[in-house]
Amino acid sequence: MTINSEMLAAVLFIVFGIVAVFLGSAYGFDSLSQPGAGAVPVLAGVALFLLGIAQFLNAIRAARGGEILPAAFASGEFRPLLLILLAIFAFAVMVVPLGLVPALAALTFIAWFAQKGGRRWEIAGAMVTTIVLMVAIFKYGLGLPLRLFGAGF
């Protein structure tokens, strides 16, 4: 079964609504005359949960009425999503121990494969351009204290 966008919205509302009520109630609702730190999170969570239920019922009604609802996820999007997130993650892991240049090289390399249009031999050009531009803007243009390479370089 493919999940449609209406149903996904309902699931998001219900899940985040429950989390907000559960965590918010631990911060203390107190009273209406002196609302505590948990009051607004709980109220917002309850409202979100109720909207989630309404959205869920709407989605069910639409599906039963024969309406074709758009699928939430397109299969062509998983590859770019995963590779883009992986590229950011690699940057985060590498930037402090190895420095900005290797982190940017890794980011460019991984992200390049997110799309199908780019030719392989272009990677080096994109990598050099990106590194040069980023170093020029952030390190020399804005004067930020960024380490280009990790210790030992």
Partner 1 sequence: MPLLDLGFQVAFNPVNLVYCLIGVTLGTAIGVLPGVGPVITIALLLPLSFGLPAEASIIMLAGIYYGASYGGSTTSILINLPGEASSAVTCIDGHQMAKQGRAGAALAVAALGSFFAGTVGTLLIALAGPPLASIAMRFGAAEYAALVFAALLMVAAMTRGGVIKGIGVALLGIIFGLAGSDVMTGTFRFTFGIRELRDGIDFSVLAVGLFAIAEIVGNIASSSQSVVTTSKIGRLWPTGNDFRRSWPAVLRGSAIGSLLGVLPGAGVAMSSFTAYMLEKNVSRTPEQFGQGAIEGVASPEAANNAASQTGFIPTLLLGIPGSPVMALMLGAFMIHGVQPGPRMMTEHAPLFWGLIVSMWIGNFFLVILNLPLIGLWVKLLKVPYHWLFVFVLAFACVGVFTMGSSPFQVYTLVFFGILGYLLKAAGLSPALFILGFILGPMFEENFRRAMSISRGNIWIFVERPISLTFVLLGVAVVLLATTSFVRRGRAEAEEA
For the segment 31-50, give every residue that binds partner 1 (CB under 8 A). 31-41, 44-45, 47-48
Q: Which CA distances in Å does 17 have to 13, 33, 51, 56, 60?
A: 6, 24, 9, 14, 20
| CB of 73 vs partner 1, minimal distance in Å | 6
CB neighbours of 105 closer than 8 A, spacing ≥ 6? 127, 131
In single-letter form, the type of residue at position 112 comes to: W
| CB of 58 vs partner 1, minimal distance in Å | 7
| CB of 100 vs partner 1, minimal distance in Å | 7
| CB of 141 vs partner 1, minimal distance in Å | 9
Q: Mask of contacts with partner 1, 92-121, x by CB under 8 A? A: xx-xx---x--xx--xx--xx-xx-xx---
Q: Token pair for residue 52?
A: 């989630």
Question: Phi then psi for 4, rounded to 5 degrees?
Answer: -95, 165
Does 132 sit near partner 1 (CB under 8 A)? Answer: no
Binding-site residue total for partner 1 (CB under 8 A)?
74
Collapsing DSSP to helix, strand or coil, 70 comes out as coil
Q: Report, in angstroms and rounded to the nearest whole number, the Rg of the chain calculated over CA atoms.
A: 24
Q: Mask of contacts with partner 1, 7-36, x by CB under 8 A? A: -xx--xx--x---x--xx--xx--xxxxxx
DSSP 96-111: HHH-HHHHHHHHHHHH
Does 133 sit near partner 1 (CB under 8 A)? Answer: yes
Does 152 sit near partner 1 (CB under 8 A)? Answer: no
* Residues 51 to 80 in contact with partner 1, rule: CB under 8 A: 51-52, 54-55, 58, 70, 72-74, 76-77, 80
End-to-end CA distance of the chain: 53
Collapsing DSSP to helix, strand or coil, 65 comes out as coil
